[in-house]
A and B are shown apart, each in its own frame.
Chain A
């Protein structure tokens, strides 16, 4: 090892430590921002160490890095907070394709140098390509669904499982053939097929998944993008790739697990059932009388309330209502009420989606409460205000055994003295189940655009 190589290896250790410390600082909102900077510093060290460690031609690196830096910075500074789910999906995909390209480039280089490709190099090359490819096209489909470029509903066709099985078989056959002779005459064909098959597999794995299940999918793809980086690390024998890829992989797996638990579903059920496509037929449809109210009536009840809990859902993001919600919350606090925001783990289209929107609107994070903390306290709450959420507050999950969402943990807003539901009209939610909450005695429906309804309430407070 030359002195430069040793310095580089030591720098990789420092970089890995900085990633770990950075993630650790993410355990509190107070230190999280500095943690992100620490992590970025780790990345900078890893990049610089790589650039100086060996004789390199910087020509093309400069081209690629300049393009990437501009595109990345432009996107990151422009993206609105409501679009974070599709942004993260897109970026997962970029991580995946980068790992695929690294695997392919390294394979091509080894071949052209006439170097022997041992099993310990061939397997990671194949895995980097496979996982990277699945992550890429899977993320592109997830992006298109989240950005509503394509229909968010699950796409199912007959024989889908057979096609999937055939592709998996193809992947396995190529793997065996490739490992048998990684530098042999057919090996490049295997790599080519693996790229094609991984692309198809990514598409087929994501199209049967419906919009409401997207939090699971993005978490899973997040994990894949880390594992792809890991595989690339094994290809070039680099520990910093392996450590950081593994951290990201673990993070994605934990989030996937939390999301699945919050929906009371198993991962295979989310991935393969096409949930939502058939639900409309099986779910019970409730009938009853709803109690619509005007903003004025709602104002009188809120004005008298001692404690108010807001329960936001994806509808709040769609209506861009987070700022007016915070304004109403502040008015209520001035009026002497205790105000909290209760957030279900799968509210929105990605983990933590609602928290970011409310943070953007300047809601202090102490006011954001998790489902398990708010549920025991809900029967002491005067008014629960449901804004664009449906399934996560649906009592059918608790009471109706034949409901498709039965068993899913929900925020028990119906236990509050009064529930306001802000809803555009009487339409079934994303899972296609009607919500018995709307017919409960203590529920009041405030129909209309969420933003306009809340603005009307604010106006009532201000004129009073």
Chain B
């Protein structure tokens, strides 16, 4: 239970930190923010790797874990790539224009 409370503490602090960080993102970057945070939510891949790769996993867990790895990888790879594609388009008037 002690560990659970500690994790909960981490969670609450991270939520507050998230509010502080995200409220500073300008409206013009809200779409890249969404796709980028989408990629971050692919962090669930860490859990998926454990489920798919742990040597003590029963076969059903391996199947579920492998599917989770696939979905989470789509999120991570696709999310970061598309965000990069988008952000590359945001150009300033001074320089950077083709």
A176 at interface by CB-CB < 8 Å: no
Q: Which of B44-98 contact A (CB under 8 A)?
A: 44-58, 60-62, 64-93, 97-98
**Cβ-neighbour of A101 out of B23, B65, B80 (below 8 A):** B65
Measured between beta carbons, the chain B residues less than 8 angstroms from A60 are: 52-53, 62, 65-66, 69
Q: How far is the CB of B56 from chain A (nearest CB, A)?
A: 6
Cα distance A22–B68 when bound, in Å?
25
A97 at interface by CB-CB < 8 Å: yes
Measured between beta carbons, the chain B residues less than 8 angstroms from A351 are: 27, 30-31, 33-34
Cα distance A68–B36 when bound, in Å?
17
Interface contact B75-A63, CB-CB below 8 Å: no
Q: Which of A97-114 contact B (CB under 8 A)?
A: 97-99, 101-102, 104-106, 108-109, 112-113
CB-CB under 8 A for A251 and B37, given A95-B75, A101-B48, A120-B4: yes
Instruction: Mark A185-220 against chain B: 1 for CB-CB distance below 8 A, else 0.
Output: 000000000000000000000000000000000110
Interface contact B83-A36, CB-CB below 8 Å: yes
Q: How far is the CB of B67 from chain A (nearest CB, A)?
A: 5
Interface contact A39-B73, CB-CB below 8 Å: no
Interface contact A95-B38, CB-CB below 8 Å: yes
Q: How far is the CB of B73 from chain A (nearest CB, A)?
A: 3
Interface contact B18-A356, CB-CB below 8 Å: no
Chain B contact residue count (CB 8 A cutoff): 85
Q: Which of B1-44 contact A (CB under 8 A)?
A: 1, 3-4, 7, 10-11, 14-19, 21-44
The residue of chain A having its C-beta at the shortest distance from the C-beta of B89 within the complex is: A359
Interface contact A64-B66, CB-CB below 8 Å: yes
A77 at interface by CB-CB < 8 Å: yes
Interface contact A67-B70, CB-CB below 8 Å: yes
Chain A contact residue count (CB 8 A cutoff): 114
Q: How far is the CB of B35 from chain A (nearest CB, A)?
A: 6
The residue of chain A having its C-beta at the shortest distance from the C-beta of B24 within the complex is: A27
Interface contact A106-B61, CB-CB below 8 Å: yes
A278 at interface by CB-CB < 8 Å: no
Cα distance A47–B91 when bound, in Å?
32
The residue of chain A having its C-beta at the shortest distance from the C-beta of B18 within the complex is: A250
Interface contact A24-B44, CB-CB below 8 Å: no
CB-CB under 8 A for A68 and B40, given A105-B65, A232-B47: no
The residue of chain B having its C-beta at the shortest distance from the C-beta of A64 within the complex is: B69
Q: How far is the CB of A107 from chain B (nearest CB, A)?
A: 9
A438 at interface by CB-CB < 8 Å: no
A241 at interface by CB-CB < 8 Å: yes
Q: How far is the CB of B98 from chain A (nearest CB, A)?
A: 7
Cα distance A109–B56 when bound, in Å?
8
Q: How far is the CB of A355 from chain B (nearest CB, A)?
A: 4
Measured between beta carbons, the chain B residues less than 8 angstroms from A91 are: 35, 38, 74-75, 78-79
Interface contact B26-A233, CB-CB below 8 Å: no
**Apart from A105-B64, A108-B60, what 5 extra A-B contacts exist at CB < 8 Å?**
A95-B71, A112-B58, A248-B18, A250-B18, A351-B31
